[in-house]
C-alpha cells in the first residue's frame, strides 16, 4: 500500500474512544437525577459484541465442519465516578430494584402492561468524531442492570469512589451515521 492510499483511507480521521455519550432511561421516582448527569459521570462503557455459537456437523467418516446454530451477546459494563450525592448508585439501585423486590424477595415482571412499566428499558450508546458528530450508535434493547458492583474504599490520598455496573439486554442494533451533527455533552 502506498502512503497516499493510507492517508486517503483516513480522510474521516481515526475514531477516539473517549468521545462517547450514553443515554439512560429516566424514572419519575428519581426526578433529581438527570440522564445528562449520569452520562457526564460515566467514565467508561464497553460496546457490545456478538459471537456466533457453533456445532460440529459430521459429513461422512473423516469430515467434520462447524455450522452456526445461534449467537451469544456479552453484557455491557459501565464505570461511574461518584459524587457525594451518589446519583449513579441511587439510580442503579433503584433500577435493579424494579426486577427484584429486595424486601419481599419477589420477582417483578420483565415487561409491564403499559409503556415504561416492567424493568427493561432501551439504552443508547453513541460515539462521536472530533467535530462532535455522531458516527456510531448502539441501542441496547430491553436492557436492565444485573450487577451493581461492590465499591472499595481505601486510605489512598485523593482517591475517587467509583461504581461498576453491568447491563444485560435481549439484543442490540448498531447504526453507522454519516455527517450527522450533534453536540457532546
Confirm whether 4 is domain-assigned.
Answer: no
**Residue 183's pLDDT band (cuts 50, 70, 90):** very low
Confirm whether 73 is domain-assigned.
Answer: yes
* Domain interval for residue 122: 13-181
Residue-wise pLDDT for 42-85, tens only, equals 999 999 988 888 888 887 777 888 889 888 899 999 999 999 99
Confirm whether 61 is domain-assigned.
Answer: yes
Share of the chain residues as helix, strand and coil, in percent rounded to the nearest 5: 15, 45, 40
Q: Alpha carbon of 106 to those of 44, 90, 102, 165, 181: distances in Å?
A: 32, 20, 8, 22, 45
Confirm whether 126 is domain-assigned.
Answer: yes
Confirm whether 122 is domain-assigned.
Answer: yes
Residue-wise pLDDT for 122-148, tens only, equals 999 999 988 888 999 999 999 999 999
- What's the number of domains the chain is made of? 1
Q: What is the CATH number of the domain that holds 143?
A: 2.30.110
Contacts (Cβ under 8 Å, ≥6 apart) of 81: 41, 43, 160, 161, 162
Confirm whether 1 is domain-assigned.
Answer: no
First to last CA, the chain: 39
C-alpha cell at 185: 455533552
Confirm whether 3 is domain-assigned.
Answer: no
Confirm whether 7 is domain-assigned.
Answer: no
Model confidence at 181: pLDDT above 50 = no
Amino acid at each position: 500500500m502506498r502512503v497516499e492510499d493510507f492517508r486517503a483511507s483516513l480522510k474521516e480521521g481515526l475514531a477516539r474512544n473517549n468521545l462517547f455519550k450514553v443515554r439512560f432511561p429516566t424514572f419519575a421516582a428519581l426526578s433529581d437525577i438527570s440522564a445528562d448527569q449520569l452520562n457526564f459521570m460515566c467514565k467508561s462503557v464497553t460496546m457490545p459484541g456478538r459471537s456466533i455459537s457453533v456445532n460440529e456437523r459430521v459429513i461422512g467418516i473423516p469430515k467434520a465442519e462447524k455450522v452456526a446454530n445461534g449467537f451469544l451477546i456479552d453484557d455491557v459494563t459501565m464505570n461511574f465516578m461518584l459524587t457525594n450525592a451518589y446519583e449513579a448508585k441511587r439510580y442503579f439501585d433503584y433500577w435493579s430494584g424494579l426486577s427484584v423486590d429486595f424486601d419481599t424477595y419477589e420477582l417483578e415482571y420483565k415487561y409491564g402492561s403499559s409503556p415504561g412499566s416492567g424493568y427493561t428499558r432501551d439504552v443508547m450508546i453513541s460515539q462521536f468524531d472530533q467535530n462532535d458528530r455522531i458516527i456510531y450508535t448502539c441501542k441496547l434493547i430491553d436492557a436492565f442492570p444485573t450487577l451493581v458492583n461492590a465499591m472499595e474504599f481505601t486510605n489512598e490520598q485523593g482517591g475517587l469512589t467509583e461504581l461498576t455496573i453491568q447491563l444485560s439486554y435481549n439484543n442490540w442494533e448498531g447504526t453507522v451515521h454519516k455527517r450527522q451533527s450533534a453536540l457532546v455533552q
